[in-house]
Amino acid sequence: MQNQQYENAKAQLSRVNQYLNLDEQTLSRLMVPDRFVEVNFPVVMENGGVKVFRGFRSQHNNALGPYKGGLRFSPEVSEEEVKALSMWMTWKCAVVDIPFGGGKGGVIVDTKALTEGELERLSKAFAARIADLIGENKDVPAPDMYTNGQIMAWMLEEYQKVTGLKSNAVFTDKPVEMGGSEGRTEATGQGGVFVLEELSKMEGLEPSRTRVAVQGIGNVGYYFAKLVREMGFKIVAISDSRGGIYSEEGIDVEEALAYKETNGSLQGYQKAKEISNEELLELEVEVLVPAAVENVIMEGNAEKIKAKYIIEMANGPVDPRADLILFKRGIRSVPDVLANAGGVTVSYFEWYQNMHQENWSKEEVTDKLRPIMGQAFKSVWEIAKEHQVDLRMGAYILAVKRVVEKLVSGC
């Protein structure tokens, strides 16, 4: 499975090359990370014993700027996974045209089995081991699966201690009081909303007549659903890992989430009927928004999707075989590298504010995010139209072209 991700990433790059005709040297350079590092480091456990953990950092490409990408803590982290994810980060940053390259890293660990103290010591030990690889102008990590702002704060503290440097721009998505940006919490959902706004203009979607189903009402899905509802779109279904709810009349997202917070799940919410996550994906809606986990639309259910548009807020929710089926059926899927790039864009804003000692308000952040997402969407749409390809291929063509132009002109 993990190997498959890296194979998929490389296969996508080969497909893009059918439209770009890169020379062999450039193509083979982009197929692999510039640098891949494995670290093994000891952590003192609560029982006084020492356990050795393994971590990775993959720096795929920095033609456009410092490597940028998350650090995940999960038992599934593998060399192949972080290599694939670092390549996708290169394309994501290039699609939205921010001056960052692609990186990714992680530690093989089940955080649920750690105490708070063990988690802090592990985070700091990992940060110390990768301290010479990263830096505000070199490689800028962020949180990812099972890591968060607190973990970035611990890592930053350790980084500053080990290197003697004072800058806080080396990690992003920090708590606001440690130099994090206003608006980062909403950023990924908000970026997706700007994408839907552009799509609506392009395709003449009228909000009040546009039904939207959102799978996964976590950070990304919640803000997406809340904000599009405020724009007049009708949220007819939402879900979490335990299942979903559906109402033809539309769902008050904030009320439903408050219910979930009190009751632990959406089940039993009186104003909507219960549905499964599989049923949610197959609803008759105009816009389907997978915002939870990868590989939810596969060969097996792609024929059953009734939505006209998919906005991929999760990473990798549509598998490559499903992609082909959706395209043939005329369903337009806005790819993750574009749809959820609002998050990394606001991480860039954070880095920029730290580097220039600025503090932007949430409104400034939102105002700066809108044109970036809008322009990226229009560019991807145009390229897809020009080459008669799906939006994912359009996004990759745009991204790879931007990176290669920079590689050729300088690096």
245 contributes a contact to ligand NAD by CB under 6 A: no
In the complex with ligand NAD, the residue whose CB is nearer, 239 or 404, is 239
d(CA 300, CA 222): 27
3 contributes a contact to ligand NAD by CB under 6 A: no
In the complex with ligand NAD, the residue whose CB is nearer, 185 or 354, is 185
333 contributes a contact to ligand NAD by CB under 6 A: no
With CB under 6 A, what is the number of residues at the site for ligand NAD? 20
DSSP state letters, 226-284: HHHHHTT-EEEEEEETTEEEE-TT---HHHHHHHHHHHSSSTT-TTSEEE-HHHHHTS-
Q: What proportions of the chain, in percent to the nearest 5, are helix, strand and coil?
A: 50, 20, 30
Per-residue CA distances from 93 to 87, 168, 406 (Å)? 10, 21, 13
Answer for which of 219, 267, 295, 301 binds ligand NAD (CB under 6 A) is: 219
d(CA 403, CA 295): 27
d(CA 63, CA 46): 43
In the complex with ligand NAD, the residue whose CB is nearer, 41 or 222, is 222
Among the listed residues 68, 83, 92, 104, the single catalytic one is: 104
Q: Which strand ranges, in their side-by-side order, compose the sheet holding 332-334?
A: 273-275, 243-246, 234-240, 211-215, 287-290, 309-311, 332-334
In the complex with ligand NAD, the residue whose CB is nearer, 45 or 293, is 293
d(CA 28, CA 26): 6
Answer for which of 216, 286, 312, 402 binds ligand NAD (CB under 6 A) is: 216
In the complex with ligand NAD, the residue whose CB is nearer, 111 or 404, is 111
DSSP state letters, 139-184: EEEEE-TT--HHHHHHHHHHHHHHH----STTS-S--GGGTPPTTH
354 contributes a contact to ligand NAD by CB under 6 A: no
In the complex with ligand NAD, the residue whose CB is nearer, 127 or 292, is 292
Beta bridge partners of 69: 141
In the complex with ligand NAD, the residue whose CB is nearer, 218 or 320, is 218
Binding map of ligand NAD across residues 278-317, x = CB under 6 A, - = no contact: -------------xxx-------------------xxx--
Q: Give residues with Cβ within 8 angstroms of 405, minimum separation 6.
A: none
240 contributes a contact to ligand NAD by CB under 6 A: yes
**Is 104 marked active-site?**
yes
Which residue's CB comes closest to ligand NAD?
218
Q: What is the CA radius of gyration of the chain?
A: 21
Q: How far is the CB of 48 from ligand NAD (least distance, A)?
A: 33
Answer for which of 340, 345, 353, 366 binds ligand NAD (CB under 6 A) is: 340
DSSP state at residue 135: B
Q: How far is the CB of 254 from ligand NAD (least distance, A)?
A: 15
Binding map of ligand NAD across residues 185-204, x = CB under 6 A, - = no contact: ---x----------------
Q: How far is the CB of 70 from ligand NAD (least distance, A)?
A: 8
Residue 285 near residue 306, CB atoms below 8 Å: yes
218 contributes a contact to ligand NAD by CB under 6 A: yes
Known catalytic residues are: 104
Q: Which residues of this chain interact with ligand NAD, rule CB under 6 A?
A: 188, 215-221, 239-241, 277, 291-293, 313-315, 340, 343
